Structure 1
Amino acid sequence: MANSYTQSRIRKISRRFGLTPLSFDSVASLYRKNAVVRIQTNSGTYAVKPFFRSLSLRSGTIDQMKTTAGYIQLLMNSGFRYMPEWLTSNSGKLWTLDQGRPFYVTTWIKGRELENQEDFKKLGRALASLHITSSLFRPMKSPFYEHIELWKSHDRLFRRQMTKAYQTDLRTRTWYKKFGESCNRFSDRSWTELKKTEIIDLLKREMIHPSLIHNDITSYNVIISDDGQLFIIDWDRMKAGSIYVDISNALMNTTQFNPDLIYSLLQGYEELHPLDRTERKLIASLYRLPREAWHATRFSNRPRSRNERNMLDIMEHTWFLRLKAMDLLDEWTNQ
């Protein structure tokens, strides 16, 4: 979509939401050059966002957009305040279709990234609010998204690739030899814990009455606005799934293994949604899984993007910080 955002196209989409753009510019994300279009209007600044389907789901793009819009409407009706305002199109929907691609429009949030312990407490409260709010209704318009079973398949692929390390590039082969067995030990410990009766029962209860999860909490998707309000953006991957997956992902993707920030996020979460020992153990087990290694080596025989090539290097540079973070979560579990 590098050259698809012409002035006439953006104007046409914007007008369906009652907006007249004075100017616009494309803003890149970590993975896409034209992730969102920022438009300036007389009434303020807005984000025009193309919706991209999740490849891990079998449903099509439009069906996924409909489901996501339904979830967003439920959150809006429930007073959830940690996301930008979604605008309604002239058709009465929260999205529109243009050239076969769904688009939605939200207010543009100007602000900064997460910086301090108070910011991470706010993020913890925001996650807890999302999980509590959505647990009050039945969001099951689509199947429960089973992350854990998917991760098990990634782990099996990782182990098979380790046995064929000679077929990979030198960097990946060297990394396997240095860290591969440790990754497998972490996984083995987590899989053993996840087989315990109390955790199996917890996951079964959650599948019966799940909550909505953002499913992509990263530092890039959390903004502290100029007035200090925390906003979570980019809700395309929103699912009915496990809150414990959502928490462990947020810890991994935002705290940079900083113990103060880890504790602050968890403290903020438990202010609204206290966690018992079994829930804490589940979060610690999911956090321990070496998912980044699985992802980075998943297609080791194919050309990888710069982000994937750098992922193993980042893991190597932060290895001891990760070990300390795992120990910290074990301590938190036993408090």
Structure 2
Amino acid sequence: MANPLPQSRVRQIVRRFGLIPLRTDSVASYYRKNAVVRVQTENGAYAMKPFFRSNLLRTSTIDQIKAAADYIQLLMNHDFDSMPKWLASHTGKLWTLHQGRPFYVCPWINGRRMESQEDFEKLGRALASLHEASRLPSPVKGPFYSHIRLWQNQDRLFRRQTAKASQMNKRFRRWYKRYGASCNRISDRSWAELKSPEIAGLLEKEMTCPALIHSDITPQNVIIADDGQLYMIDWDRVKPGSIYVDVANALMNTTHFNPVFIHSLLKGYEELRPFDPAERQLISSLYRLPREAWLAARFPNRSRSRSMLDIMEETWPLRLKAMEILDEWA
């Protein structure tokens, strides 16, 4: 939503979910100025969120919200408690359509960001609970491998683009001269490990017994509520996928390369679902991939790409140390 919805439209939408709003206000996210509307009622606060289509999938917005709502219903049926429950609309669906855009509503979670060893253990347990509670009854085709296939394509594009680094801006050329070869060596090692029979077998096995993954675990999408309960929010990208990708993403996006947080997240996860040696190696291999560099190379003149490169440069020693920690754990 580029502009905030008028309050009259907000009221019209939330009334379909049985809510009578007293006050509403738009709240920004990291990427969008008006990402969600906070709706205050006599019975508490709720989040009214527009559903945004994923460009990585070829299906329509309606098909994607239908699939997401089915997955959310499955999690609610399994009493998964680390997710705000979506409200049913007057039609019985977990979403409603307004002027061509789907919206859904869930309780507003007041709380704070993760900041302690205990918080990261909670995140690990929540992820393990998600992956164990959402095993699907049939094999998955197509979107299951989207993350790994996407990363392979991004790596190939990165190497093609950087082969012409002289044509890029000075900022990127300087960065690539210092870190490009290391990124490629790290990637080569990971891709070689992912081709090993043990790991290839794990990925093949997952397709016969898939689980749901959140797909977007970031610090902004994890809240420690006032009562201490951990909630993962923003479930627009929930889908069948690799639990190993979900764990590797969570480690990369949330722990800030802090060894204590890395071990805490893994400890919490393995309290509910221990990993065998091959699974540990798979997670370590996926964690190592320099995905920010690949994204930045696609649009080197964008400010966000420059920020990515700056962050990678500032954290490079910490990243290498974190890779060593994951290697030792594996």
Question: TM > 0.5 between the two?
Answer: yes
Equivalent residue for 1:320?
317
Equivalent residue for 1:164?
164
CA RMSD of aligned residues (A): 1.3
Q: List per-residue Cα deviations over 1:215-258 (Å, max 9, x = no partner).
A: 00000000000000000000001110000000000000000000
Within 1, Cα distance between the matches of 2:252 and 2:13? 36
Equivalent residue for 1:331?
328
SS at match of 2:24: strand
Q: TM-score, normalization: structure 2?
A: 0.98
Aligned residues: 330
Within 1, Cα distance between the matches of 2:142 and 2:271? 30
Equivalent residue for 2:66?
66
| Amino acid paired to 2:121 | K
SS at match of 1:57: coil
Shift of 1:297: 1.2
Within 1, Cα distance between the matches of 2:257 and 2:78? 33
Equivalent residue for 1:53?
53
SS at match of 1:314: helix
Within 1, Cα distance between the matches of 2:251 and 2:159? 25
SS at match of 2:144: coil
Against the structure 1 CA distance between its residues 141 and 291, is the aligned structure 2 distance closer, same or farther, given a 3 Å change threshold?
Answer: closer
Equivalent residue for 1:104?
104
Shift of 1:4: 4.5
Shift of 1:295: 0.8
Between the aligned residues of both structures, percent identity stands at 68
CA contact 1:259–1:325 (8 Å) conserved in 2: yes
Equivalent residue for 1:216?
216
SS at match of 2:223: strand
CA contact 1:67–1:141 (8 Å) conserved in 2: no
Against the structure 1 CA distance between its residues 95 and 141, is the aligned structure 2 distance closer, same or farther, given a 3 Å change threshold?
Answer: farther
Shift of 1:3: 2.7
Larger deviation, residues 146-155 vs 249-258:
146-155
SS at match of 1:135: coil
- Structure 1, unmatched stretches of 5+, are none
Give matches, 1:106-121, under 5 Å.
106-121=106-121
Shift of 1:136: 5.8
CA contact 1:145–1:239 (8 Å) conserved in 2: no
Against the structure 1 CA distance between its residues 14 and 139, is the aligned structure 2 distance closer, same or farther, given a 3 Å change threshold?
Answer: farther
Within 2, Cα distance between the matches of 1:18 and 1:77? 21
Larger deviation, residues 230-239 vs 2-11:
2-11
Within 2, Cα distance between the matches of 1:149 and 1:136? 21
Within 2, Cα distance between the matches of 1:31 and 1:265? 26
SS at match of 2:66: helix
Equivalent residue for 2:267?
267
CA contact 1:67–1:142 (8 Å) conserved in 2: no
Q: List per-residue Cα deviations over 1:288-310 (Å, max 9, x = no partner).
A: 0000111111122xx42x33320
Shift of 1:5: 0.4
Give matches, 1:1-335, under 5 Å.
1-135=1-135, 137-138=137-138, 140=140, 143-300=143-300, 303-304=301-302, 306-333=303-330
CA contact 2:137–2:209 (8 Å) conserved in 1: no
Against the structure 1 CA distance between its residues 192 and 58, is the aligned structure 2 distance closer, same or farther, given a 3 Å change threshold?
Answer: same
Within 2, Cα distance between the matches of 1:56 and 1:149? 11
- Structure 2, unmatched stretches of 5+, are none
CA contact 1:224–1:230 (8 Å) conserved in 2: yes
SS at match of 2:298: coil
Within 2, Cα distance between the matches of 1:255 and 1:84? 23
CA contact 1:139–1:211 (8 Å) conserved in 2: no
Within 1, Cα distance between the matches of 2:74 and 2:261? 31
